[in-house]
Amino acid sequence: MHMADALISPVVGGAMWAATAGVAAYSIKKVQTEMDEKKIPLMGVMGAFIFASQMINFTIPATGSSGHIGGGLILAILLGPYAGFLTIASVLAIQALFFADGGLLAYGCNVFNMGFFSCFIAYPLIYKVLMKKEYSTTRIFLASVLTAVIGLQLGAFGVVLETLFSGKTELPFGTFVLLMQPIHLAIGVVEGLVTAAIATYIWNARPEIMEKASSGETIGNISIKKVVAGLVAAAVVTGAGLSWFASSNPDGLEWAMIKTAGTAELEATGGLHQQLSDLQSKTAFLPDYSFKASEEEPEPSGGEGEEAWPAVDGGTSTSGLVGGSLTLILAALVGGGISLMKRRKYRINS
Amino acid sequence: MANIADSIYNMRLLDDLARQETLIHKLHPLVKLLTTVSYLTVVVSFGRYEVAGLLPLFFYPVMVLALAELPLKPILLRILLVSPFIIGIGILNPVFDQQTFELAGKEFSRGWVTFLSILLKSGLTVTAALLLIATTGMDRLAGALRILKVPRIFVLQLLLTYRYISVLMEEVARTLRAYSLRAPKQKGVHRSAWGSLAGQLLLRTFDRAQRIYEAMCLRGFAGEYHSGEINKISGWDWAYLGGWVAFFVLARMYNIPLLIGSLLTGVIR
């Protein structure tokens, strides 16, 4: 479910970063006020545990294939939603940095899709409610599977929306949803089953851990409402701000939404690169892309906000090919030259 | 990320690379972080039909790779490993965007252009993120986050997670080896052992966390993780940041390859 940078636009990435930062700030405040500092090493080591346990392949009965866990739900169950969210966030940060699993600009999207939905929506609204009365194997089983499935469905839908608003792929909304949701239904069931197995084991072996985790925080509906409200506000303000700053039509993001939903056709472009490409077409797209004429080409006359398909003709594409290859050769030469010089220096020194 | 040995190796490799002392490694971590973020923003801000305009941005990873004396192979390998998903989504572009254009006398679907654009962006962004960690290292990067006022708890937590990943991965590897020796001809962990295998590991993790906390307290832990001195940002650091950002903005505003190309073909004509 990790989103890469190549598939998101700066506006979507920025808005999701803001939303994630908002939830993280709230969670940090909660952890600071409500928990003892003993939980910090626990969070750290649990993050490492999740990371390592993602390497365990669990054989899925009757299919012959195997799957691994994401770990968002087990973290929420054992650490509570706030500490769980922060732990998932740091696991994702390390995955992005060391394994390029998910991009840095897409980090906000990823934490939101994989952390927020399971810790702040699915966990309190399903798991907590189902487990309110009593702990039993059946209940743990039911609650885990249901929570994991719903958390992952929401996360997968988040991926679909974020990708579509970014407008980098041509995938129609319906196709993308039909691709993502069923796959994540299967993943969610596996996640739920494994989580249930682990939670049941812990419940049998060390019930006090589960009890402490569930009684430690007061997850009333109020705090959840606050989180959601703050978050929506943060996302809207940032999204709107970025789009306003970025695009000639102030409601670029909303426009993209309506357009996507209405026509199921992808013409959505985030605001920032729209303006930048407008700027670019003003400054760089000289007529015939040669230096003979000095007039500026009129702005691309495509539909409102529609991305300009550069009017390519034979001559310009040749220029592009020649210039492009030259640029790459130049880059390779510079890099190779520096390496060669460095190596020679070492040889002289040694 | 399927193979434990590979993952441990990869993290240690990046750790090792980050310990070098080249021009790039000596730069202030915050400067490198900001340069990386502006680079990523510029790369993804390009429209989906843009290919030629992206090419000048190759200069940044190439220069950093060369100046920081990093090996090319592991980074290319990583790009290959993460590309299947990108290709999976991008390959549908030529299917959905059937409009054609002409290049060098042949007809192509526009979708191929968007696909190529996504591939380029993917390669550039993945490389930039790996270069950041391979030239900075986790501790110094965490220092940069503290300068940016990221809360202490989060940074501390991030560092602890990072510190214990190799320990726990080794523990998981031992456990899995023990399991596989006792369960021959089996691909993964059988359903009957799901709870006990992962649950045991988890309980041990809890106990370990307790021991770590006690050890930290005995050594005077008072809520701050000290990761060594980080120098002030020097003039040279600012110049590095400013230079790259200026280049990124120029590359974003002007289609440099097209300018070079039209200049050349114009001269020939």
Domain ranges (residues) in chain A? 5-246, 318-350
Task: Give the C-alpha distances (Å, rounded to integers) separating A59 from B35, B144, B186.
Answer: 44, 42, 9
Closest CA to A163 of A1, A332, A3: A3
Only one residue has tokens 């939303």, namely A19
Closest CA to A52 of B106, B188, B8: B8
What are B192-226's pLDDT values in tens digits?
888 889 899 888 888 888 888 888 889 888 777 77
Question: Would you put residue A286 in left (φ > 0), alpha (ψ -120 to 50) or beta?
Answer: beta
CA angle B172, B173, B178 (to 5 degrees): 95
3-state helix, strand, coil in chain A (%, to 5): 75, 0, 25
A221 to chain B, minimum CA–CA distance in Å? 25
With beta carbons under 8 A apart, name residues in chain A contacting B59: 330-331, 334
For residue A220, is pLDDT > 50? no
- What pLDDT score does A236 carry? 61
In this predicted structure, which of A219-223, A343-347, B170-174 has the lowest mean pLDDT? A219-223
ipTM of the complex: 0.89
Whole-model pTM: value is 0.80
- Nearest residue of B to residue A86 by CA position? B154
Average per-residue pLDDT for chain A: 75
Structural domain boundaries in chain B: 4-268
- Sign of the CA dihedral with B183 first, then B185, B189, and B192 last: negative
**pLDDT band at A176; cut points 50, 70, 90:** confident
Question: CA–CA separation, A57 vs A60, rounded Å?
Answer: 9
Closest CA to A328 of B249, B76, B257, B115: B257
**pLDDT band at A152; cut points 50, 70, 90:** very high
Q: What b/e readout covers B50-62, taking b as 16+ CB neighbours within 10 angstroms?
A: bbbbbbbbbbbbb
CA angle B167, B173, B178 (to 5 degrees): 130
Beta-carbon count within 10 A of B268 CB:
7
**pLDDT band at A134; cut points 50, 70, 90:** confident
Average pLDDT over residues A58-84: 84
Contacting B residues, span 57-76, partner chain A, CB-CB under 8 Å: 58-59, 62-63, 65-67, 69
The phi and psi torsions of B103 (rounded to 5 degrees) equal -140, 125
Average pLDDT over residues B237-256: 93
In this predicted structure, which of A49-58, A107-116, B15-24 has the lowest mean pLDDT? A49-58
What are B145-174's pLDDT values in tens digits?
999 999 888 998 899 899 888 888 888 888
Only one residue has tokens 């927020």, namely A116
**pLDDT band at A175; cut points 50, 70, 90:** confident
- What pLDDT score does B37 carry? 95
Closest CA to B208 of B250, B170, B158: B170
Residue A297, SS3 per DSSP: coil
Question: CA–CA separation, B158 vs B29, rounded Å?
Answer: 16
Task: Give the C-alpha distances (Å, rounded to integers) separating A224 from A15, A27, A150, A231.
Answer: 20, 11, 17, 10
Asked if residue B177 lies in contact with residue A103, where contact means CB atoms within 8 angstroms, the answer is no
Tell me the sheet residues that pair with A59: A66
| Tokens read off for A218 | 């007061």
Highest mean pLDDT among A93-102, A227-236, A261-270: A93-102
Asked if residue A175 lies in contact with residue A263, where contact means CB atoms within 8 angstroms, the answer is no
- Determine whether the interchain pair A9/B45 forms a contact, defined as Cβ–Cβ distance below 8 Å: yes
**pLDDT band at A316; cut points 50, 70, 90:** low
Question: Could you tell me the fold of the domain covering A5-246?
Answer: Arp2/3 complex 21 kDa subunit ARPC3 (1.10.1760)
Percentage with pLDDT > 90 across chain A: 27
- What pLDDT score does B205 carry? 87
Indicate the residue of A269, A323, A335 with minimum beta-carbon distance to B261: A323
Q: What b/e readout covers B129-145, taking b as 16+ CB neighbours within 10 angstroms?
A: bbbbbbbbbbbbbbbbb
**How many Cα atoms occupy the beta-carbon half-sphere of B229 within 13 Å?**
3
- Determine whether the interchain pair B59/A4 forms a contact, defined as Cβ–Cβ distance below 8 Å: no
Residue type, A295: E
How buried is A177 (Cβ within 10 angstroms: 0-12 exposed, 13-18 middle, 19+ buried)? Answer: middle
Q: Which helix (H) or strand (E) holds A63?
A: none
- What pLDDT score does B245 carry? 96
Average pLDDT over residues A219-230: 51
Only one residue has tokens 């020939």, namely B268
How buried is A138 (Cβ within 10 angstroms: 0-12 exposed, 13-18 middle, 19+ buried)? Answer: exposed
Only one residue has tokens 């196709």, namely A175
Size of interface A-B (CB pairs under 8 A): 389
Closest CA to A254 of A138, A159, A152, A165: A165
For residue B242, is pLDDT > 90? yes
Asked if residue A23 lies in contact with residue A123, where contact means CB atoms within 8 angstroms, the answer is no
CA B266 to chain centre: 40
What are A78-92's pLDDT values in tens digits?
888 999 999 999 999
Average pLDDT over residues B17-33: 92
B222–A contact, CB cutoff 8 A:
no
Give the pairing type, strands A58-59 and A66-67. antiparallel
B5–A contact, CB cutoff 8 A:
no
With beta carbons under 8 A apart, name residues in chain B contacting A100: 78-79, 81-82, 126, 129-130
- What pLDDT score does B241 carry? 95
Asked if residue A162 lies in contact with residue A16, where contact means CB atoms within 8 angstroms, the answer is yes
B1–A contact, CB cutoff 8 A:
yes
Indicate the residue of B96, B102, B262 with minimum beta-carbon distance to A172: B96
Closest CA to A110 of A192, A246, A19: A19
Question: CA–CA separation, B231 vs A344, rounded Å?
Answer: 30
The string of DSSP codes covering A205-261 is H-HHHHHHHHHHS---HHHHHHHHHHHHHHHHHHHHHHHHHH-SSTTHHHHHHHHHH
With beta carbons under 8 A apart, name residues in chain A contacting B101: 309, 312
Question: CA–CA separation, B16 vs B26, rounded Å?
Answer: 15
